[in-house]
A = this chain, B = another copy of it.
Amino acid sequence: MDFEEDLNAKLLEHKDVTKVKVRFNDTDAMGVVHFKNYMVYFDDGFVSFMNSIRNKRRIEEMIHEGLACGVKHVDITYEGSAKFGDYIIVETRIKKLGNKSIIFSHMLFKEADKELLAKIECTRFVLDLKTNKLINISKFLEYFLK
């Protein structure tokens, strides 16, 4: 097994778990978190996942180096509802490593009772902000993980 296969296998096994607290302004007049705010919670999962695979690099710095992660597709199923003050557990894995995109899988649970809140698949790509072109994922990972 060569380096790239090895890396991919490790990435596909990796799981990140992070925690988000629901703010009062995340709720709406139904008393629960508005559906758009789950986008923010799983985005926290993405940032946490990327920063958990390698110590030295932080995804937050990428943009200062002319790279940006964009979102191509989101599929989200809402299974429960969260309230102000709830802690939400975000579990993040990579579902598929493509040439031009990565599909992330996120599961959101209420910390208190482990109720499933939402299941998400989110496809992301990497853009070179100078050329405005997509960057090959294996090149990006090689760069990001080095």
Contacts and interface: CB of A to CB of B under 8 A. Distances in A.
A12 to B, nearest CB: 24
A120 to B, nearest CB: 10
A71 to B, nearest CB: 4
A50 to B, nearest CB: 11
A24 B31 CA distance: 12
A73 interface: yes
Number of copies: 4
Interface stretch (A34-42, A92-100, A136-144): A34-42
Given A25-B28, A29-B28, A43-B23, A73 B63 contact: no
A61 B74 contact: no
12 contacts: A23-B44, A24-B28, A24-B43, A25-B43, A28-B28, A29-B29, A29-B83, A35-B74, A36-B37, A60-B83, A74-B74, A75-B76
